Amino acid sequence: MKSKAMKIVEIAQSKKALNPIVLDVRKISNFCDFFVIFTGSSKTHICSIADEIDKEMRLLGVRAHHLEGYKDSQWVVLDYSSVIVHIFDEETRAFYDLEHLWADASKVGKKTQRSRKLK
């Protein structure tokens, strides 16, 4: 499932998706394992990202169970059961602020720095 989320990130980044984040919600959600969140720069860009994710995932034999928001293109949701993809325009992403709403989720792929003791 984590590999599915990371593959989606790779696909979206090939379409220049902005500010990707993967949230591991397994410990705090009973309906999915990961949220993958992106920002698109325009309605056309958001649709292009969604189309590419859908196309490439289908080639891998994975179909979205549900697609929502494509017509309005301010917030497109692709539901892959264990992974839910959110593609926002900048204003809508800031308004709904899923990263804050799901702040108890751990971020996947974010590098952490270890503090070093000085001698």
> Domains of the chain by range and CATH?
2-100 (3.30.460.10)
What percentage of the chain reaches a pLDDT higher than 70?
91
| pLDDT confidence bin for 2, thresholds 50/70/90 | confident
Distance between CA 87 and CA 50 in Å, rounded?
7
Residues 14-69: tens digit of each pLDDT: 999 999 999 999 999 999 999 999 999 999 999 999 999 999 999 999 999 999 99
d(CA 33, CA 27): 8
For residue 55, what pLDDT is reported?
Answer: 97
What is the CB-side half-sphere exposure of residue 51 using CA atoms within 13 A? 9
Pairing of strands 18-24, 34-40: antiparallel
* Res 72: pLDDT: 86
Instruction: Look at residue 111 and tell me whether its pLDDT is greater than 60.
Output: no
